[in-house]
A and B are shown apart, each in its own frame.
Chain A
């Protein structure tokens, strides 16, 4: 029974990471209908920035974290302005191919700048465990859950109660009408990319202490994030978070209790989730059904 709780807690922690990255994907998809294939690489790049600041420049963790968030935001907005805006108006596949190009570009840049060596990243949370009801729970996991949750709540407050948040939501659901009330929709899209980059950075920084930092670090996480977003509903922010948590806990439990899957087939299991959801209920748990009978 203790193992069960431990798996659930660590599943919630990894689920928090998947959910954060999934939220980034959903943010951009809601506004533009595009899946940003480069989201994982952008997140990894941000993680490298934190690593460089703390390791090579002696910054302490939380200031480096904050600075990286700012840089990531600027990077996200910049990427949108320079690379995405020129092709936004055309076919979506074209934009997706551009994001794939970005994936390659950013991935290669990380190897170029920092080499493919695997690095270890210190965790901001203490590595010991704490006893809760007789079960040893890692503080790292608790910290991860807290940060993910906190981020999601802050984001919710932003969208619900601020003028800019409202304008972004309006731009996502009805860009033409939003322009008529004076919203600069193009800037809102850029903002969306900036926020998504911040979410990705948080996901990356929460992940790095456990999986070690190398250029391919976020590739698998991206797949998990896709699975979470699809599971929750590709246009639903709540869905992204819930989907992430469900996926994290689900994969942990399946991995622990189904021998065949174990740790090796975790990724294919996520792939299966993607396929099954897309086939049975493409709108996901919280998504709206688009009728398309053909």
Chain B
């Protein structure tokens, strides 16, 4: 299977601080790939480098072609980035958030997609006019996910979806992600602190440490390696 997304030796810095020191990774089409590591390892920065929210050097290829730098361009290319903290438009309504997710689309099927989202998240239709900021954390995360899907992306990037959420809700979210991957072939790149659930969901994983890839491999092999589990995954 060819790589939908490829990073080659990507570096990024925040002012004087070097966050990524040469990251190379591949996300094959139709797969779920996890990026793990401790706080400050560079996981979020990796996603930001892809979506163009942080300046970076090195090559990033999407569907074989070099990826343009600006976030707007990346969205147009078919990459949906759900950032840390969900990034919902808290002052706008649920439906308006979804409409924004479809911003780059020019087709007329947007309303149909909203109905399809309601199948995954039934409360969307009922609470359509509610202000997004008044939703619970779990609901906002699901709204963010639904919004990302409205763009019919080829690649979905999730940044720490479990942050601040109860375990049950986290499991539900990852279940939905798995379902989308299996049923619709959605390619997913997920950054997570919760290594256990990430490895249960993803096929392959990269573990980052201080801005570099320390270990990578299939989830199964990473899970079975005691040394890796203890030093890098914390369990």
Rounded to whole Å, the gap between the CB of B140 and the closest CB of chain A is 12
Given A163-B99, A166-B96, A170-B100 in contact, is the A184-B72 Cβ separation under 8 Å?
yes
Q: Is B71 an interface residue (CB 8 A)?
A: yes
Selected from B70, B87, B96, B151, the residue in CB contact (under 8 A) with A177 is B87
Q: Is B116 an interface residue (CB 8 A)?
A: no
Selected from A163, A176, A181, A185, the residue in CB contact (under 8 A) with B147 is A181
Please report the total number of A residues contacting B with Cβ < 8 Å: 17
Pairwise interchain contact A180-B104, C-beta atoms closer than 8 A: no
Selected from B53, B72, B83, B89, the residue in CB contact (under 8 A) with A170 is B89
Q: Is B212 an interface residue (CB 8 A)?
A: no
How many pairs, one residue from A and one from B, have CB atoms within 8 Å of each other in the complex?
63
A-side contacts of B51, CB under 8 Å: 180
Pairwise interchain contact A181-B92, C-beta atoms closer than 8 A: no
Q: Is A269 an interface residue (CB 8 A)?
A: no
CA A182 to CA B99, docked complex, whole Å: 12
A-side contacts of B56, CB under 8 Å: none
Pairwise interchain contact A180-B75, C-beta atoms closer than 8 A: yes
Residue of A nearest to B147 (CB): A181
Rounded to whole Å, the gap between the CB of A200 and the closest CB of chain B is 25
B-side contacts of A182, CB under 8 Å: 71-72, 75-76, 103-104, 151
Rounded to whole Å, the gap between the CB of A26 and the closest CB of chain B is 15
Identify which of A166, A177, A178 gathers the most chain B CB atoms within 10 Å of its CB.
Answer: A177
Pairwise interchain contact A177-B89, C-beta atoms closer than 8 A: yes
B-side contacts of A167, CB under 8 Å: 100, 103
Q: Is B43 an interface residue (CB 8 A)?
A: no
A-side contacts of B88, CB under 8 Å: 177
Q: Is B178 an interface residue (CB 8 A)?
A: no
A-side contacts of B101, CB under 8 Å: 181
**For chain A residues 172-224, which have a beta carbon within 8 Å of chain B?**
173-174, 176-185
Selected from A166, A173, A177, A185, the residue in CB contact (under 8 A) with B99 is A166
CA A177 to CA B97, docked complex, whole Å: 11
Selected from A169, A176, A181, the residue in CB contact (under 8 A) with B103 is A181
6 contacts across the A-B interface (CB closer than 8 A): A166-B100, A170-B92, A173-B90, A180-B75, A180-B83, A181-B104
Nearest 5 pairs of A and B residues by beta carbon: A182-B75, A182-B104, A179-B71, A177-B87, A173-B91
